[in-house]
Structure 1
Amino acid sequence: MTIKEIAQIAGVSVSTVSKIMNNKDQSIRSETREHVLKIAKEYNYKPYSSIITSSSGKTLCLGIIFRNASAVHNSISGMIAAASSCGYSILTRESNNSVEQELKNILALLNMHVDGIIWEPVSPDSLDSARHIRHANIPYFIINSDIEHALNIDFQQMGYLATEALIKARHSEIACMLRNGTRTKSFFQGYRQCLFDHNIAFDERLVFYETDGLPISKITNHIFSGIVVSHYAAAIQLYKAIDTLHYAIPHDLSLVSLKDSLRIKTDYPPISTLPIPYYDFGTYVVDYLIHIIEKKDGIPKLALSFKLEHHLSIDIPYNSRLKKVISLGSINIDNYMNFDQLPHTGKTVTSPAASIYPGGKCINEAIGIAKLGHQVSAIGRVGDDADADFLYEYIKDYPVDTFGIRRSKGLKTGQAYIFVQKDGDSMISIMSGANNAVSSKDIIENERLFVNASYCLIQTEIPMEAIIKASHMAKKYNLITVLKPSACSSLPLELLQNIDIISPNLDELGEICPGGQSLEEKAGQLLSYGIKTVIVTMGAQGCYLREKNLECRIPSGNFTSVDSSGAGDAFISALVSYLLYGYEIVTAAKIATYAAGLSTTRQGTTPALIDKDTLESFIRQKEPELLHASKQ
């Protein structure tokens, strides 16, 4: 602080300040003298003559400026220990979140001739005060700040690790709760980066600030299964609120938080925490500063350890406790075009309307299962493009676990081109894209999805290697396998021997069992491979069901068809759903026939898939006794 700056603050001339500070103030009023001396003391101003006569040697003293004493953490202990071990003492000052007080602190430390300063600035505007430190020609470090070149604990990495701990426990719906503070931005960036790296779509609806209140309704409705919290005090508040409502952590919600281990010693509630290594950080900063002061060679490396204390508040997701269905197969964008008459060789036709929907048998059957009230996990591949973003966003509206859906860099998301005739008949062409990247590795990496599932739905529009691996994995965990053969000419015996239920349409049956045999003979051939149930869907004629000791035909209802392209997926979704509800196979197939018929009355595949309430309301009008049939 210069004499000119003191004069400006006091509102007097430079000569007035000089006279007062050098005891030549006989002609100056006492009120002015007291006013100038008060300001000089506040800003630790000393006349130049006193400075040049002071010692220019080392004081072996370091200055530390904290922005707020109430937030002083374990790092001060590390700083004191590191300084003491090197023969230095420490002077601390507090800025009380005031830029003006911060300047006074800097000047005070400079007037005490400290050898270096560790500075936690109040705001980016504080940097202007750094000129006084530079003018004194002593080293200084800025800590705990977003300012460029500041030394900080890597809270981004801590946010990443907290989120990853939940992902490793099979969570994919993960919320983030934040409290305003210096760590908040970095912690949130780590959370978001971890989701991205694990192919989990970011949902801004799952980000909460403490000031907005606790997300209790979303917790009780199981909108998310795990949450990471930036501040331990907020985590305790959340834990107690959940406990008051008689929900349990981690049964209903898994919780991970950061924790300042010095300030909070309690082990209750038992929250899984990542202790913030403030002590080690404080030690490093002081060691580094002394390294610079004493002009030692090399630069010390900042190597902080982040380790989860325990897993007491982490468990598998709540919904994973329920038996799930796995849907494996193609994932596409369905491009619909409507025609009066389908195109054929040598003829050009025009379409008056077109529309786009998420599709592919994996997604269709997953959403169909979800609409009928069951938990489902999807396994497949999408591209690294905007279509993949659209699919992820669309699936958010359904309780479908997308952990097993991975992006394939450099590939496009699969495309299905669906041509629909006025009477509902359709034809489909497929550009496989990322679907061709599905491999046995995808099955192995998602093995945990098979552990708590009951059915595995397999479709054949992906590489056979992955299909066979999935069939073996399903048998390893005693899942019932359901195969929908499509876009294939033959099926290997190794696959057929692992299938429990197969449901081709008439054309698909002809592909996998070529020759002139009858429908019944071809179904018998499939049973001979070890398949337990064969159900052949026949459009408006219903379906044919065959088991070792059972054979029947189930007629279809009378429906006005608009689009039949998703009927097969609607049939399988309903069949498996009602088998899960405990209905025997014939009843489930009858219900599935209604679901398939209703799906043909709407345009599109996923939009046409029927929900449980609508389906059962329709059946009660047509065949009420069906829903009251005896269960297995």
Structure 2
Amino acid sequence: MTAKTPLAALDTIYGTVSVVGSMNADYTVTTERLPKPGETVNGGPLQVLPGGKSGNQAAAAARIGAKVQMFGAVGSDGNADFLLAKLGEAGVNTTHVRKVLGPSGTTVITVDANGENAIVYSPGSNAHVTVEYVESEKKALTASKVLGLCLESPIETVTAAAKMCHDAGVKVLLNNSPFRPSLPKDLVDNSDILLVNEHEMAQLLQIEEPENDDWSGFDWNFALAKMQEFGYDQAIVTLGGDGSVVLDATSDEQVHRIAPVHVHAVDTTGCGDSFMGTVLAGLASDMSLSEAAELASYVSAYAATSYGAQASYGNAAQIREAFEDK
């Protein structure tokens, strides 16, 4: 399918998505600047917001219209019901989420006046997303068209989910975050598309980064060749405020630069996850990788305009209204 504009693609989201991974309660505080080691700074009121990379990705995909199933674990604390309720409000099916004894996953997030953040992650119940659990959910898990994975769950579970879905013909999109400088061969072999930022790509592929972080003259065809050597014919490399690059050896346009969508950013906490969730929704709705990434630029930019991760995500109507006249 080819949409006239990236925003027009919001009218064509219909596909089915499975997401396996993390759900966290985000304890978020804003400060004028991030503290240096050993330093105390004053912050604003503490907020508890729904998060977790996988939960965020599921919520973002569901808010723009995809049919999303969440697979993971919450604890026996008050945060468990909070997290499930917020995912439900976003339109995510949480009936397959496991409940375990102990705390749910949590993150402590500090956000500065420029929207930059520092995050500490405590896995909690996310550590109980086991291979056995994934195998027990095989029928539901493989019913979707696309699977989304990140690395806030045990790596053996992520690999098992990838293999199960890949074998069943489900397209697997892997977000190498939190970043691992190496990935198990089985995970690479059983995931179809990789999503990383430019610094993660350079470390993973052992590519030297350009001086002064200036990627404008970087040889992306070289990066595609290295990515294929690593094991991926398709990848998206996000460049923060400079947009993204789609590397796609299966397409006529093998290197596709995607321009950034400029907004006044107040909090970038959930932008990467909203980008991932949008790509999942787009791929599940028969968009090309480039089309999905172009739409994701708008959705993630919208997320930067308010605080929190899931709390900042818009639905299709809100995103269209924010950008269609600009």
TM-score by length of 2: 0.86
1:423 is aligned, of 111, 114, 129, to 114
Question: C-alpha displacement at 1:514, in angstroms?
Answer: 4.0
1:82-93 matches, cutoff 5 A: none
**Percent of pairs with identical residues:** 25
Which residue of 125, 149, 160 corresponds with 1:434? 125
Give the partner amino acid of 1:544: V
Q: Which residue of 2 aligns with 1:158?
A: none
Match of 1:488 among 174, 179, 185: 179
In the alignment, which residue of structure 2 is the partner of 1:524? Answer: 225
Specify the alignment match of 2:151 in structure 1: 460
The aligned counterpart of 1:62 is none
1:388 maps onto 2:92 in alignment:
no
Q: Distance in 2 between matches of 1:477 and 1:436?
A: 25
Q: CA deviation at 1:450?
A: 2.8
Asked if 1:553 corresponds to 2:253, the answer is no
Corresponding residue for residue 369 of structure 1 = 61
AA in 2 matched with 1:432 = P
Do the aligned residues in 1 keep the contact of 2:15 with 2:284 (CA within 8 Å)?
A: no
SS at match of 2:109: strand
For residue 326 of structure 1, give the secondary structure of its aligned residue in structure 2. strand
The residue matched to 1:373 in structure 2 has which SS?
Answer: coil
Q: Does the 8 A contact of 2:150 with 2:178 survive in 1?
A: no
1:204-253 deviation line (CA, Å, top 9, x unaligned) = xxxxxxxxxxxxxxxxxxxxxxxxxxxxxxxxxxxxxxxxxxxxxxxxxx
Which of 400, 422, 425 is the matching residue for 2:92?
400
| 2:225 aligned with 1:534 | no
Give yes or no for contact 2:20–2:148 (8 Å, CA) kept in 1.
yes
- For 2:57 and 2:43, the matched residues in 1 are separated by 28
Conservation of the 8 A alpha-carbon contact between 2:142 and 2:170: no
Aligned to 2:34: 342
Deviation at residue 523 of structure 1 after TM alignment: 4.5
Q: Deviations over 1:244-265 (max 9, x none)?
A: xxxxxxxxxxxxxxxxxxxxxx
Alpha carbons of structure 1 residues 523 and 342: separation in structure 2 relative to 1, 3 Å: farther
From the superposition, tell whether residues 380 and 588 of structure 1 become closer, same or farther in structure 2 (CA, over 3 Å).
same
- Segments of 4+ moved more than 6 angstroms: none
Which residue pairs with 2:274 in the alignment? 570
Residue 387 of structure 1 aligns to a residue in which SS?
helix
CA offsets, 1:551-594, max 9 Å, x none? 02211122111000111111112222233333332222111101
Q: 2:147 touches 2:171 (CA, 8 Å); kept in 1?
A: yes
Secondary structure of residue in 1 paired with 2:115: coil
Structure 2 residue matching 1:353: 3-state secondary structure: coil
SS at match of 2:276: helix
How many Å separate the matches in 1 of 2:38 and 2:55? Answer: 34
1:135-185 CA-to-partner distances (Å, cap 9, x unmatched) read: xxxxxxxxxxxxxxxxxxxxxxxxxxxxxxxxxxxxxxxxxxxxxxxxxxx
Greater mean deviation of Cα atoms: 571-580 or 510-519: 510-519
**Structure 1 residue aligned with 2:138:** 447
Taking the TM superposition and a 5 Å limit, the aligned residue runs for 1:596-611 are 596-611=300-315
Q: Decide which structure has the larger Cα Rg and report it.
A: 1
Under a length normalisation based on structure 1, what TM-score does the superposition of the two structures give? 0.46
Find out whether 1:585 has 2:289 as its counterpart.
Answer: yes
Return the alpha-carbon distance in structure 1 between the equivalents of residues 54 and 149 of structure 2.
8
Alpha-carbon distance, 1:510 to partner: 4.0
With 341-350 and 471-480 compared, the bigger mean Cα shift is at 341-350
Residues 99-128 of structure 1: CA deviation (Å, up to 9, x unaligned): xxxxxxxxxxxxxxxxxxxxxxxxxxxxxx
Other structure's SS at 1:561 match:
coil
> More displaced, 589-598 or 399-408?
399-408
Residues 527 and 547 in structure 1, CA contact (< 8 A), matched pair in contact too: no
User: 1:388 Cα shift?
Assistant: 0.8
Tell me the SS of whatever aligns to 1:465: helix
**Cα 1:476/1:412, change in 2 over 3 Å:** same
Deviation by residue 1:412-442 (Cα, 9 ceiling, x = unmatched) = 1111111111011112110111111211111
> Contact conserved, 1:527 with 1:534, CA < 8 A, in 2?
no
SS at match of 2:236: strand
Cα contact 2:58–2:70 (8 A) shared by 1: yes
Cα distance in 2, alignment partners of residues 580 and 618 from structure 1: 24
User: How far 1:349 sits from its partner (Å)?
Assistant: 1.3
**2:117 is aligned with 1:413:** no
SS at match of 1:503: strand
Contact 1:338 1:419 in 2 (8 A): yes
Tell me: CA distance 1:355–1:523, structure 2 relative to 1, closer, same or farther (3 Å).
Answer: farther
CA distance in 1, matches of 2:171, 2:76: 33
Structure 1 gap segments, 5+ residues each: 1-321, 623-632
Aligned to 2:177, the other structure's residue is in SS state coil
- Decide whether the 8 Å contact of 2:72 with 2:126 is kept in 1: yes
Counterpart AA for 1:491: L
The secondary structure found in structure 1 opposite 2:90 is coil
Distance 1:387 1:456 in 2: 25
| Alignment partners' CA distance in 1, 2:202 and 2:263 | 26
Whether contact under 8 Å (2:15, 2:285) holds in the other structure is: no
Supply the distance in 2 between the matched residues of 1:466 and 1:607 (Cα, whole angstroms): 28
Q: Select the residue among 141, 148, 161 that pairs with 1:470.
A: 161
* Aligned-pair CA distance for 1:546: 0.8
Q: Relative to structure 1, is the Cα distance of residues 532 and 404 closer, same or farther in structure 2, using a 3 angstrom cutoff? A: farther
CA distance in structure 2 between the partners assigned to 1:443 and 1:390 by the alignment: 23
Whether the 8 Å contact between 1:493 and 1:529 is mirrored in structure 2 is: no
Seen in structure 2, the aligned counterparts of structure 1 residues 620 and 352 have a Cα distance that, compared at 3 Å, is closer
Structure 2: how far apart are the matches of 1:394 and 1:596? 19
- The answer for unaligned runs of 5 or more in structure 2 is 1-13, 211-217
Higher relative contact order (CA 8 A, sep 6+): 2
